[in-house]
Structure 1
Amino acid sequence: MKYLVILGDGMADRPIESLGGRTPLEYAKTPKMDELAAKGEIGMVHTIPDGMKPGSDTANLSVLGYNPREFYSGRSPLEALSIGVPMKDTDVALRCNIVTLSEEDNYEDRTIIDHSSGEISTEECAVLLEAVKKELETDIFHFYVGTSYRHCLIWENGEVVDLVQPHDVLGQKIGDKLPENEALRTMMKKSYDILVNHPINIERKKKGLNPANSCWFWGAGTKPALYPFTERTHKQGAMISAVDLLKGIAVGTSMKVITVDGANGGLDTNYEGKANAALDVLTKDGYDFVYVHLEGPDEMGHQGSVEKKVKAIERLDERIIRPIAEGLAEAGEDFRMVVLPDHPTPISLRTHTADNVPYLLYDSTAERSENWHYNEREAAQTANFIPEGHKLIEYLLQM
């Protein structure tokens, strides 16, 4: 038996008037997910422990079977693992987004326009971060390049300070959202001066693209301590994701990290490459379990684009779930697959919530005949509910 998690990051939502009171998942054309739902099981799962912030970090740990109350030490340390940052026990890692701010004279009066700087490429952003690093790196603060707009700052002998997530305050003035820590606040301000007239940003503005003009620090945490995925599940697992956070979780849990060329965490990622990699690792490399993560629905939710979020969900169905399910069947492999979001990213809010999310569980050896479609409304109508998200993996793996 092969086992899969197909995770559409932020895919769940709330009813939207322009979609006739439906969610993007309800509205999207998802024939393969609906086919599997009719032959399988749908229900709701609570992935974010009560009282914890609804982030992809806590939620994906939960989906993989790690109770965030026990194993969560911050988001950035997981990303640091992914990019090979050597963390000491006394280090604090922080996420360093390169964001788009408006250009008022006073830094505090500026507004966060885009937390991802128009999904800027890693190549461009690496050059920008190098300019910041040249001016701001010290014996205490060290910058490391990640992926796209997502980078890392290591603070030696630092503090786990409370910091604001940029995607939580899109469109808002930043004055009261800045770090209380003077060193961090000063570096953010100086980064704007370094980046605002950088040749890359001048060229981006000429092309009508959002400039990547300021660092934004958040997600502070200490070195994580996760046990290997195989230790409890007795399954050899692999991770397929374009996002450093998920790769870091995989590194921390001793899962195989599969890098797919052209996978960028955006709407136009390499879907086919991810699907083929999942099939290869299960049918050719002998792995038991694969976790396929798609960032697109979440990014489109943060952008507030109904049309693009629907498109991201449809591409997930047509270009990931369909070829994987059909490829495993053609290879003669029995499999159990769960499809779900980690958390909702409602278009109306442009940030995460801790609402329950719908899951779809399909077992090729135990097909049913139901009349369900896979969406939030119908999943909530069933009696199926998993109140502790970290136990979903036990259900999938039949532990």
Structure 2
Amino acid sequence: MTKSSSVAMKGIRLVYVLLDGIGDLPHPLLNDLTPLEAAYTPNLDALARNGAMGKVISVGKGIAPQSDIAVFNMLGYSFKDGSYVGRGVIESIGCNIDFRDGDLALRGNFATIDDKLKIVDRRAGRVISSEEAKAVCKTLRDNIRFSDKDASIALEPTIAHRVVIRLRHAKMKLSDKITNTDPAYDKIDGMGIAKDTTGEMFVQKSAAEEDSDQARTAAKMLNEFTTQVVQLLRDHPVNRARIAAGKKPMNCIIARDSGNRYPHVDPIDKKHGISVGCIVDMPVEIGISKVLGMKMFQAGDVNDYEEKAKVAAKSLKSVNAVYVHIKGPDEFGHDGDARGKKKNIEDIDKRFFGTLMNELKGSSTAIVVSGDHSTPCVKKGHSDDPVPLLVSGSMVKQDGSARFTENYAKRGNLGLLMGADVLSTAIKMVAG
């Protein structure tokens, strides 16, 4: 009997919820509590009382990870050998850009800059309509011209300030060994690592990190792209309208996390011995799901929490486990909005977890809750702080946890886990 069938015969049913950027630090506006501690979360707290808690270092000690590599780790894939392909590739897969080995894919942000290339806002106010993004990208696609006639570009806006860039050269494979133009992130072994963003930031010039024509050409293409974007968007109609409406112009694109090859990993069903589906919204999570071969279930828009809960419960008729990614908390963390993050957590508790628990009432389904990384409001960015972990269900030995918070996570019986071990640990606990 295979591992998959033996586990499935035990009737394992598991909902695995990752709350994006949920971890935080005490905040003065919340009486020195974290948003989780300050929030009214009766449903999460009920789950905590019926389970065991721990804390998780999602990628590595001292690493403030981006969501892509953090999610891969939280699903059991650590890339310890430095083989990670970069977020640009994952997002290009997620939004169906034509990508082949030797192309260079990067994640981009529409940003607001001043005349000296100082970054005023890395996300151009965050509120960007699909129509605005499409109009701007059409202008760029129609007008960008590289000095090398064999160079070309594909550009795809995704959600809000997010955009995917694909560079291609007709006569060579491009190297991914180049630096970012986005100063908020560094790249180590293909992984995007958040940097301190409390000081002034300027658009960076990309540089080759190896002595090769492939790297020098890639860096030159990215720099030509950046220069032309600034020129073409300086007086763009979309930006004139945004400024007139009191919004920040989207007058630059900053890029990071280059990658030049398609990833090849074991499918998640094979890795864990159970069938795993997912409910995801963002291009990066969609890309991860495609790479890992997960069955994707449609469940409304990003903030349709009730629908996500209902679909998650129903999906367990066809898969053993479903991974649900909920985006909300991370954005409030980036904005430094502690009160907003607290309210968002309360909204998720009531609408998602309240609905989920009602849908699963009377079943033996386990619910696992954690985060991909911490996004403390006081830092306005990702940090290396551990995230809380909860495994809840009738088959789990309770450890006296009373609330789903960072403090209870520190005291929980599950101790300190690495992200890559979380799902396999939960499966073992649930399978008995």
Where structure 1 has 5 or more consecutive residues not aligned to the other structure, the ranges are: 264-268
Aligned match for 1:80, one of 78, 82, 92:
92
Larger Rg: 2
Tell me, in whole angstroms, the C-alpha distance in 2 between the residues paired with 1:172 and 1:187.
26
- Corresponding position of 1:190: 228
Aligned match for 2:292, one of 249, 253, 258:
253
Taking the TM superposition and a 5 Å limit, the aligned residue runs for 1:217-236 are: 217-222=255-260, 223-236=262-275
1:62 to partner: Cα distance: 0.8
1:342 to partner: Cα distance: 0.9
Answer yes or no: is the 8 Å Cα contact 2:124–2:249 preserved in 1: no
Matched, 1:373 2:403: yes
Q: Name the stretch that deviates more: 191-200 or 297-306.
A: 191-200
Matched, 1:350 2:374: no
Aligned match for 1:311, one of 339, 343, 346:
343
Tell me, in whole angstroms, the C-alpha distance in 2 between the residues paired with 1:316 and 1:127.
33
Tell me, in whole angstroms, the C-alpha distance in 2 between the residues paired with 1:165 and 1:372.
41
Q: Name the stretch that deviates more: 313-322 or 42-51.
A: 42-51
Q: Residues 7-66 of structure 1, C-alpha deviation per residue, up to 9 Å, x if partnerless?
A: 111111111122111111111111111111111111111111246551111211111111
1:255 to partner: Cα distance: 0.5
Where structure 2 has 5 or more consecutive residues not aligned to the other structure, the ranges are: 1-11, 186-194, 208-218
Taking the TM superposition and a 5 Å limit, the aligned residue runs for 1:1-399 are: 1-50=12-61, 52-70=63-81, 72-101=84-113, 103=114, 105-107=115-117, 110-115=118-123, 117-136=125-144, 139-156=151-168, 157-160=173-176, 161-163=178-180, 164=182, 166=184, 168=195, 172-175=199-202, 177-180=204-207, 181-222=219-260, 223-263=262-302, 269-283=303-317, 286-329=318-361, 332-366=362-396, 368=398, 370-398=400-428
Number of aligned residue pairs: give it. Answer: 386
Q: Give the counterpart letter for 1:188 in structure 2.
A: T
Identity level (%):
26
Q: Residues 250-281 of structure 1, C-alpha deviation per residue, up to 9 Å, x if partnerless?
A: 00011022344332xxxxx2222222221232
SS of aligned partner of 2:174: coil
1:205 to partner: Cα distance: 2.6
1:111 to partner: Cα distance: 2.1
Tell me, in whole angstroms, the C-alpha distance in 2 between the residues paired with 1:312 and 1:304.
13
Tell me, in whole angstroms, the C-alpha distance in 1 between the residues paired with 2:206 and 2:144.
17
Relative to structure 1, the CA distance from residue 127 to residue 260 in structure 2 (aligned partners, 3 Å threshold; closer, same or farther) is farther
Answer yes or no: is the 8 Å Cα contact 1:224–1:252 preserved in 2: yes
1:369 to partner: Cα distance: 7.4
Q: Name the stretch that deviates more: 115-124 or 18-27.
A: 115-124
Tell me, in whole angstroms, the C-alpha distance in 2 between the residues paired with 1:383 and 1:289.
23
* TM-score, structure 1 normalization: 0.89
- The root-mean-square deviation of aligned C-alpha atoms, in Å, is 2.3
Relative to structure 1, the CA distance from residue 86 to residue 33 in structure 2 (aligned partners, 3 Å threshold; closer, same or farther) is same
1:231 to partner: Cα distance: 0.9
Relative to structure 1, the CA distance from residue 171 to residue 259 in structure 2 (aligned partners, 3 Å threshold; closer, same or farther) is farther
* TM-score, structure 2 normalization: 0.83
Q: Give the counterpart letter for 1:287 in structure 2.
A: V
